[in-house]
Structure 1
Amino acid sequence: MSPAGLPPLTGPADLHAIEREPLSGRDLALTTYDLLVRAAQRWPNEPCSLWIPDTAAIENHVRVTFGALLERVHAIAHALHTVGIDRHDAVTLMAPNCGDLLAATLAAEAIGIAAPVNSALDLRHVAHIIRLTGSRVLITAGPELDEELWKRLLDGAAALGIETLVALSPDGHDHRRAPELEKRPGLRTLRLDDLVNGDKPAPAALPTAPPAPDDLAAFFHTGGTTGTPKVAAHTHRNQAVMAWSLTLAGGATAGQSIVAGLPLFHVNALLVTALAPMVTGARSIWPSPRGYRDPKLYTSFWRLVEHYRPRAMSAVPTVYALLAAIPVDADISSLKTPIVGAAPLPDSVRRAFTEATGLELLEGYGLTEGTCASSATLPGDAHPGSAGQRLPYQTVAAAVVDETNGRVRPLPPGETGELVISGPTVFAGYLRRDGDHRRVSDSDIVIDGWLRTGDLGFVLNERIHLRGRQKDLIIRGGHNIDPAIIEDVLLRHPAVSAAAAVGRPDRTSGEVPVAFVALSATDITAQELMAWADEHISEPAARPKTITVLDSIPLTEIGKPFKPALRAQAATGHLRDELTERGIDTVNIDIAHDAGRLVAHLTGDGKLGEAAAILRGYDIDIRTETKAKEPGR
C-alpha cells in the first residue's frame, strides 16, 4: 500500500493486481457525502481548499478545512431543505468559482441533486436545462461576485421558471455590509449567508437521511453553446468510485496541493480537483473566481506555484499552450504532475510545455458520460500517442457497433474502432422529460452494456490511443479525414499558435476540409500557409481548400476548441459567396446547429425562395422562417 493507504498503480501489472480484489470488497466511500464525512473525520483541521479572490494578490487566500467544509455543507443542506429541496429535487448552480459554490454543490448532492450550469449559456439553453431537471431553486453569483450575471438571471428568472434565487458572496466578503438585493414579483431573492443563518451554530447532520450509492447525485450538461445541450445524470456511486480511481493515478496526497482552475460546472473541476483530494487529504488551490479563464492569472502563475508549492495541476491543452509562452521566472520544482485532458493534446503543445518547464504533460481521457476519466498517464510512464492507461475496474475497448441488432463487437488489441467503456463509472443516462415527469434513460448511448463514446481509437497493452471523434471526421466523398492530420501540420509552422480543421459543405463531395488558424507572427499569409499544408500533408484529400486567419480560435468555457462555431462560419461564408455569385446579395444567412445538423436560416427581401432553390443540393437544412427570440429578451 502507498502512504495514503492506496494500492500502487505504476503499470498494467499493478492494474491487474488491483482488479483481483472485487470493488465490492474494498472499504470505499460510495457517496460524495460519505467521502466528505470520512475526510472531515480523518483531517478535521487540515485545509481542503485555498480560495484566492484576486490574482493581483496571489498570496491572499481564504482557507477552508475539511471540518469547516462539512459544517458548511450541513448548514446549506438545512437551508435548502427549508425552501423545499428533497432527495429527488434538483438545485441549479450557476456562478464563478468560490468556496460557497463548492459547498453548495456538495450540499445539493447530499440532500437532492446538484445541477451545475455554464454561466456563458444563453437563457434559451439555460431554460432547456432547467426544464429537463425540474429545478426551481437557482444558486448564482450575487452582485458583488458577478454583477452582470446576477442582473441577467434576476431579469430572466420568470422565463426560466425559477422561484428562489440565492446569491453567493465573494470569498472573504462580509455579507452583513452588503446592500439589500433587488426584488422581482413572484421571485424570492436572498443571500446564501442569510438563508443559512450564518451566526448560528452549524447543524451536526443532514436534515434528511444521507444519500444511498445509487441515488442520483448530479446533472451535468454537455455542450450547449450551439445546439441543444444534453444533460447527463451521475449517481453517487459513479462519482465516489471515480474520485477513488483518480487518486491511484498519482495526484496529490495529504499535505500536498493541486491547482484547480477549471470551472465547477465541468466534471474535471469537481471530480479531479475537489472530490479526489478528499480521498487522500490533499488541498485544492482555486486561483480567482474565473480560474484559467482569467487572463491576469497567467502573468502570475509561476509565482503562484512557487508560493503554494503544488504537486499537481489539472488543465486543458489551451491552458498549457498559454503557460508555455510565459517565461518561468520562479521556483516551480514542487510541480511534478501536470495533468491534461478534456481535449486532444497537440504534439506542439506537449513539446512547447516540456521545453519551457522541463515537465512532461500527463494526458488523460474521459467524458462526462463516463463520470470524468477512463484513462490517465501515470508519472514516469508517458508514451507518445497514448492518452494513458485505463483506470481500474473500467473496461475500455475499440469496437464495431452493429446498428441493426444493437450488439458491440470488441476488436483485437491495436485495431482502430469506436471506443466503448463499461464499469461502475458509466453514467445513469440522459435526462428526458415526458410531460411533467422527468426520467433518466441510457438507451441511446449504452449498447449491450457498453457506453459508446463517439471517439475513435485503439487499445494496446491497456493504454488508450485516440484517433479523433466520429463526429469531427471530415467525410469527403466517403473518404474519412481525421482533422488532426491537418491541425498537426499547421501547428508545426512556427507562425501558427493554434489551428482547427473542420468540414465545409460541398455539393459534389458532401464536405471538404477547411482550416482556421491563429498566428504568433504577422508576416505570414494564408496563401503561404496553404502552400505549407500542401507540401506537408501527404494525403491529397486532406489538404484544406481554404485557410482562414482569426485573431483567436473560438473556445468553450473550459478551453476546448469549439468546432461547431467554425463549421457554421465556414458554411455561412461559402453559401453567402454562392448567392453573391448568382446575383443575390440582399438575403442574410444565419447558420445554427439543430440535432447535430447544420440549419441555414434565410432572411431578407422577396428573393428568399430563389435563394433557397439555389442552395439546394447541400447537406444542410434550408429554412426561410425567422429565428425565435430568447426567453427574457
Structure 2
Amino acid sequence: MNEDLLWPPYCGPDDLASIEAVPLTARGLPGSTYDLLVRAATRWPDRTALTVLPQAAQWREPAQLTFAGLLERVHRYANLLHRLGVRRGDAVALMAPNCAELIPATLAAQLAGIAAPINGALSPAHLGELLRRSGARVLITAGPELAPELWAKVPELTGALDAVLVLRPTAAQAPPAPLPRLDGVLVGELAESPRDQDTSSFAGEAPTAGDLAAFFHTGGTTGTPKLAAHTHAGEVANAWMIAANSMLGSDSVIFAALPLFHVNALVVTLLAPLFKGQQVVWAGPLGYREPALYGEFWSIVEHYHIAAMSAVPTVYQVLTQCPVTTADISSLRYAMVGASPLPDAVRTAFEAHTKVTLVEGYGLTEATCASARSFPDAPHPGAVGQRMPYQQVKVVHPDSWAELPTGQTGLLAIGGPTVFAGYVTGRDAQGRPVIDGLGKLVDGWLDTGDLARLDADGFLHLAGRAKDLIIRGGHNIDPAVIEDALLAHPHVTGAGAVGRPDLHAGELPVAYVTLAPEADVNEEELRQWAAGRVPERVAAPKSVTILAALPVTDVGKPYKLALRADATRLAVAEALAGHGSDVEVDAAIEGGSVFVSVTPGTGDREAISAVLDQYALRWTWSPETPGPVAS
C-alpha cells in the first residue's frame, strides 16, 4: 500500500481539490473493517490499541489490548459466533454500555455477520421490534453486574433468540455470579467462551467491501427507530476521511466516551484510529454521563496525553466549569463538537478556559457518520464545515430538487461513497435483509432532511430541520434565525424554536432556552432580546421559556417534537381556560406527530369540542373520559 497515496496533506480547506485529484479507488483503502484491523495488527502488533477505564475513579487501572491482542480477541469471538450459526447476512445484536469486551465484540459481529448495536435505554417494545427487524438470533448484552437495568429487559426479548452472550464490567476481579436460565436460549459469558476457539484466523467467510457491516438505529423516541444499513466500504471510506486529518499522527491518543450504539463512537473513535495505529482511551460505561468523569477529566488528558476528543456542546459547557489547575493539557489540540448548535457562549468560555479551539462538524447516520469538518486554523463563523473528501453536497429546492445557487437556503443532499444502502425493513423468504431507501434516496443522493446553505467558500451553514419550519400565516420561518438570536445572548447556552398552534396564523414562533449557571436574566428579557435581533418581525418569538435542559433523543440529538408538544399543550390549555377550572390538557407524541388529550372535568364537552376542532391538530378525550374519540 502506497503510504503517500494514503495520506495526502489535509490541513486546511485548500487541500480538498488536490486530494480529490486522485480517485478514491486509487488510494488503496482496505476492503472491509476486518481488513482494516488486520492491517493495523500486522503493522503495529505490540502497540497499545485500547485503554479502557472501568470508571472515572479508576482511570489509573485500565484494561488494555495491543493491536495484535485485539485481532486475536476478534477472531475468538467471531469464531464463536460462527459456531453459533452466524453467517454473512445474519445480524448480531449488541446491547450494552461501553466496556472492554464490547469493542472486540462489535468488530467480531462485523466479521462473522452484521453488527446491530442497540441502545438499551429504549423500551422493551422498541428493542423487540429492532431485534425482529434486524433478524438477530444472537444477542451480546450487558450482564447483571455491568448494567442490571438492561439485563432485566433481556427475558422480554428472548422470543426469537438462540443465544445470549453476556458481558462483564471492565477489569472485573470477582468471579462471575451464576447466570439465570432462559427457556430455550443458550446463555453464557462471552469472555468465558470456549478457549479452543481459534485466535489466529476466522473460520468463516470474510466480508468484502460491498457486504453489509452494520445496522444502526437512527435514534428518536417516537415510533420505532429506523435501522440504517452500512456497508463495509462506506464505513472504511468514512473512517479514512476522518483519519486523513494531518493534525493527528500515529502517536496521537484519542479519547472516546460516546456509546458504541452511536455511529460517532464506531467510525470516529474505533475504526479511524486503526488507520494510523492510534491508541484510544475509552471512558467508563456511563461515558460523558458519569458525573465523576468531569472532576478527573483534565488529569486523564494529562496522564494519557490525549490529543483529540469528540463531544456535544453540553459536555464542553460542563468542562469550562472544571478547573484545569496544575494539569498539563498541552497535548489536547483537536476538540470536535457536533450533534447540536454550538452556542457562542460555550465556544468562547471553553477556548478561554483551555486555549483549545472547538472544531465543528456535521454528519448523520444515513451518511455513515461524518460529512463536513472545520479547521482550527481556518475559522468560518456560523459554518459546520467543508464537505469531506469524495463526498458531494448540494442544496436543492425541497419540492422540485432543483439545485439552488450559492447562498440560498434549501434542502441539503449528500452523495458519494458514504451514503447508506437504505433502511432495514425486514427479512425476505430466504432470510436476507430487505433494504429500502424509504424515500430518503433520490437518484443516489441522500435527502438529509436538513435545511442549509453553502457559502462562497463551499462551507456548509445549517438552518434547522426542513420539517421544523414554522409556518405563520403562510410565511415560512426558519427556527434557526430565532435560535441564533437567542444563542447570541451571553447567558444562553442552548435554544430551540418551534411553532405553537394559533387559530389565526396557523402557528406562532415560541422558543425554549437553557442558561449558564447563575445567569441573571428572565424570560421576558430574553423575548425582547430575540425580538430585537431576528431578521424579520414575524420571526420574533411570542414567548421564551427557560428550561433546566433541552430535550434530546436517545442518541443525544435535539428533540424538537417534545418542545412542539409542550407548546401545543400550553396553547390548547390557554384556549380552554374559560371552559372550567378543572379542564386538564396533556400532549403526547405518537408516530412522529403531536396529539392532545383533554379531560373535560365539569366543562361543557360540546363547547370544548367546538374549540378544539378549530385547530389543525389531533386530539382525543382522556382515557378516563367516557364517550367517543374525536379527531
TM surpasses 0.5: yes
One-letter amino acid of the structure 2 residue matched with residue 415 of structure 1: Q
Q: CA deviation at 1:189?
A: 2.5
1:485 aligns with 2:460: no
2:24 corresponds to = 23
Q: CA deviation at 1:508?
A: 2.3
Is the 1:111–1:210 Cα contact (8 Å) retained in structure 2?
Answer: yes
Q: CA deviation at 1:442?
A: 1.8
After superposition, what is the alpha-carbon deviation per residue over 1:330-386, rounded to whole angstroms, capped at 9, x for unaligned? 211111111112223222222222122112111111111111111111342222122
1:384 corresponds to = 381
> Which segment is superposed worse, 576-585 or 82-91?
576-585
Q: Equivalent residue of 2:152, what SS? A: helix
Change (3 A) 1:417 1:530: closer
Q: Equivalent residue of 2:264, what SS? A: helix
Q: How does 1:415-564 map to 2 (within 5 A)?
A: 415-433=408-426, 438-442=433-437, 444-459=439-454, 460-519=456-515, 520-521=517-518, 523-564=520-561
Q: Which runs of 5+ in 1 are unaligned?
A: 628-633
1:350 aligns with 2:347: yes
1:192 aligns with 2:161: no
CA distance in 2 between counterparts of 1:131 and 1:602 reads: 35
One-letter amino acid of the structure 2 residue matched with residue 67 of structure 1: A
Q: Equivalent residue of 1:173, what SS? A: coil
Change (3 A) 1:392 1:334: same
1:630 corresponds to = none
Q: CA deviation at 1:589?
A: 2.7
Is the 2:482–2:541 Cα contact (8 Å) retained in structure 1?
Answer: yes
Q: CA deviation at 1:614?
A: 3.0
CA distance in 2 between counterparts of 1:402 and 1:550 reads: 35
2:226 corresponds to = 230
1:61 corresponds to = 62
Q: Equivalent residue of 2:153, what SS? A: helix
Q: CA deviation at 1:452?
A: 1.1
Change (3 A) 1:63 1:153: same
One-letter amino acid of the structure 1 residue matched with residue 165 of structure 2: V
Q: CA deviation at 1:620?
A: 2.0
After superposition, what is the alpha-carbon deviation per residue over 1:70-127, rounded to whole angstroms, capped at 9, x for unaligned? 1111111111122221111111111111121111111111111111111221122222
1:285 aligns with 2:281: yes
1:130 corresponds to = 131
1:157 aligns with 2:157: yes
Give the paired residue count: 617
Change (3 A) 1:83 1:603: farther
Q: CA deviation at 1:412?
A: 2.9
CA distance in 1 between counterparts of 2:105 and 2:623 reads: 40
CA distance in 2 between counterparts of 1:601 and 1:29 reads: 54
1:297 aligns with 2:288: no
Q: How does 1:265-280 map to 2 (within 5 A)?
A: 265-280=261-276
Change (3 A) 1:497 1:179: same
Change (3 A) 1:66 1:613: farther
> Which segment is superposed worse, 100-109 or 78-87?
78-87
Change (3 A) 1:588 1:388: closer
Is the 2:5–2:27 Cα contact (8 Å) retained in structure 1?
Answer: no
Is the 2:79–2:197 Cα contact (8 Å) retained in structure 1?
Answer: no
Q: CA deviation at 1:50?
A: 0.7
Q: CA deviation at 1:612?
A: 4.5
One-letter amino acid of the structure 1 residue matched with residue 614 of structure 2: G
Q: CA deviation at 1:135?
A: 1.5
Q: CA deviation at 1:501?
A: 1.9
Change (3 A) 1:558 1:347: farther
Q: CA deviation at 1:202?
A: 4.2
CA distance in 2 between counterparts of 1:617 and 1:426 reads: 43
One-letter amino acid of the structure 1 residue matched with residue 439 of structure 2: D
1:221 aligns with 2:214: no
Q: CA RMSD in A?
A: 2.5
Change (3 A) 1:36 1:505: same
Is the 2:219–2:555 Cα contact (8 Å) retained in structure 1?
Answer: no
User: Residue 254 of structure 1 is aligned with which of 206, 229, 250?
Assistant: 250
Is the 1:137–1:163 Cα contact (8 Å) retained in structure 2?
Answer: yes
> Which segment is superposed worse, 283-292 or 608-617?
608-617
Is the 2:229–2:420 Cα contact (8 Å) retained in structure 1?
Answer: yes
One-letter amino acid of the structure 2 residue matched with residue 338 of structure 1: A
Q: Equivalent residue of 2:450, what SS? A: strand
One-letter amino acid of the structure 1 residue matched with residue 313 of structure 2: P
Change (3 A) 1:608 1:60: farther
Q: Equivalent residue of 2:476, what SS? A: strand
Q: Equivalent residue of 2:402, what SS? A: strand
After superposition, what is the alpha-carbon deviation per residue over 1:143-186, rounded to whole angstroms, capped at 9, x for unaligned? 111112111223x224x6444322111111147x1111122333
CA distance in 1 between counterparts of 2:179 and 2:570 reads: 46
CA distance in 1 between counterparts of 2:204 and 2:285 reads: 31
1:167 aligns with 2:166: yes
CA distance in 1 between counterparts of 2:348 and 2:287 reads: 24
Is the 1:89–1:135 Cα contact (8 Å) retained in structure 2?
Answer: yes
Is the 2:343–2:494 Cα contact (8 Å) retained in structure 1?
Answer: no
Q: Percent identity?
A: 46
> Which segment is superposed worse, 275-284 or 162-171?
162-171
Is the 1:143–1:150 Cα contact (8 Å) retained in structure 2?
Answer: yes
2:586 corresponds to = 589
CA distance in 1 between counterparts of 2:609 and 2:279 reads: 58
Is the 2:258–2:287 Cα contact (8 Å) retained in structure 1?
Answer: yes
